[in-house]
């Protein structure tokens, strides 16, 4: 079951610590900000969908007040716009609910790769975040808190291995602020991509 745990350690010390515990002990601004943005997205979605459940960045492996940076707030706000549109897709929500909360890393990575099979855009990044959010929320509500940082680590690993060059081209995470005008169309396309990925997962598991 090597695929379900840590992958090969070819990167040695280059692996973000977040892949193990969610901490941002990395020297790369894009990776560090990505972890903060992901946690901000998760906290914002929980606040929107389940206000009675108080979740802090620290519970997700982060630092107090890490989301107070105005730029981070604006990035998360733009990502939430896409997510709100995606939430209207009932089929998408049904499929996400069928992914096991304790899924192995290889399952998560298979679905994640399928999302980006035919391209990368901000909507598909949100689709990835949304899948992670659902798994994290399930871990919170079923008291499997140990899974939270593991899932965040999977997302960080995927960002580093598959999305990093694209993020550099966008100027980092602020690219979602600067180049975002057709977010509703992007959200619809991203929803379809995630539905296709989840259907593919169900057929191949």
CATH of domain 29-174: 1.10.437.10
Mean pLDDT across the chain: 78
pTM, full prediction: 0.77
Identify the pLDDT of residue 130. Answer: 87
CB 37 within 8 A of CB 75: yes
Identify the pLDDT of residue 203. Answer: 62
List C-alpha distances in Å: 67 to 33, 41, 58, 75, 172: 10, 10, 11, 10, 17
**Would you call 98 helix, strand, or coil by DSSP?**
coil
Q: State how far the Cα of 89 lies from the Cα of 70, in Å rounded to an integer.
A: 30
Positions in the chain short of pLDDT 50: 1-25
């Amino acid at each position: 079951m090597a695929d379900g745990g840590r992958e090969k350690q070819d990167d040695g010390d280059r692996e973000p610590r977040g892949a193990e515990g969610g901490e941002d002990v990395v020297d790369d601004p894009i990776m560090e900000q990505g972890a903060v943005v992901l946690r901000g997205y998760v906290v914002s979605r929980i606040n929107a969908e389940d206000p009675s459940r108080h979740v802090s960045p620290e519970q997700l492996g982060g630092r107090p007040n890490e989301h107070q940076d105005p730029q981070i707030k604006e990035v998360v706000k733009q990502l939430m716009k896409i997510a709100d549109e995606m939430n209207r897709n009932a089929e998408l929500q049904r499929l996400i609910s069928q992914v096991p909360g304790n899924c192995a890393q290889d399952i998560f990575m298979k679905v994640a790769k399928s999302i980006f099979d035919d391209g990368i855009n901000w909507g598909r990044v949100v689709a990835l975040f949304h899948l992670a959010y659902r798994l994290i929320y399930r871990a919170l509500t079923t008291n499997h808190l140990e899974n939270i940082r593991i899932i965040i680590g999977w997302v960080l690993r995927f960002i580093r291995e598959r999305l990093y060059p694209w993020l550099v081209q966008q100027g980092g995470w602020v690219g979602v602020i600067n180049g975002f005008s057709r977010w509703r169309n992007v959200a619809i396309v991203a929803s379809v991509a995630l539905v296709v990925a989840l259907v593919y997962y169900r057929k191949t598991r």
